[in-house]
């Protein structure tokens, strides 16, 4: 009788397509699905077949590995739908292919049973919470980066036009000049223009930078659909712009 009365929760997890991002999500899945007295959690961990194949042994009755098939692009076969052994020159193509998979991710959410109660997503897929919001599913950003690294990224984005040293010397790369070099790599480079979402905006939207006025870590992304300076809209080509 006690088992029948336990509340059931369906959680979708969508980390970036790198095992360094997937592993923290998998650890969180293990902890969420640990037996509790009042909540029965089922996790659907979404990634590409290339990433999920080595994780097959981690699938249980409460952790479900769900494949997301990315669109095919030149020089990017399904075997390379992962950052593992991916040539650096193909990283923009992987991000573009992942961005193009947004409708497929939405369809995946539609097909999950039981219906998802919440989405946990990574910052590189800023469109994921919008696909969830369109279906009435709340979304939370789960960051695999430390608070210090996230703060540094936000600082670089906020000061990309007039680079300044990070205000905490222990985290700064050595002063304004070194910080400026990193800013150029992080915020100015936009994947050669091939990705649908430019890198600076991807980091700002997904991680919720202070410059955008969005909470930095574990931000509830449904706020993107509300008014205010941090609000965003999706253009017809799939890119993002400020309102």
Beta strand 240-242 pairing with 39-47: unpaired
Report the C-alpha gap between 238 and 233 in whole angstroms.
10
Phi, psi of 141, deg, nearest 5: -80, 120
Q: Which residues are catalytic?
A: 21, 122
């Amino acid at each position: 009788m006690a088992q029948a009365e336990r509340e059931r929760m369906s959680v979708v997890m969508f980390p970036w397509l790198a095992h360094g991002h997937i592993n923290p999500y998998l650890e969180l899945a293990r902890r969420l699905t640990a037996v509790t007295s009042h909540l029965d959690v089922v996790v659907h961990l979404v990634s590409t077949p290339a990433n999920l194949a080595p994780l097959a042994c981690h699938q249980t009755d409460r952790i479900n590995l769900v494949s997301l098939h990315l669109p095919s692009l030149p020089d990017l076969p399904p075997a390379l739908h992962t950052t593992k052994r991916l040539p650096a020159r193909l990283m923009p193509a992987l991000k573009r292919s992942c961005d193009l998979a947004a409708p497929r991710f939405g369809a995946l959410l539609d097909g999950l049973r039981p219906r998802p109660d919440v989405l946990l997503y990574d910052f590189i897929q800023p469109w994921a919470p919008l696909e969830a919001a369109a279906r009435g599913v709340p979304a939370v950003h789960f960051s695999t980066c430390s608070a210090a690294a996230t703060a540094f990224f936000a600082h670089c984005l906020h000061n990309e036009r007039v680079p300044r040293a990070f205000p905490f010397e222990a985290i700064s790369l050595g002063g304004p000049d070194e910080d400026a070099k990193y800013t150029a790599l992080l915020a100015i480079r936009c994947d050669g223009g091939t990705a649908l979402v430019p890198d600076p905006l991807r980091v700002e939207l997904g991680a919720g930078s202070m410059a955008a006025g969005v909470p930095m870590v574990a931000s509830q992304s449904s706020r993107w659909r509300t008014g205010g300076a941090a609000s965003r809209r999706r253009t017809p080509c799939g890119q993002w712009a400020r309102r």
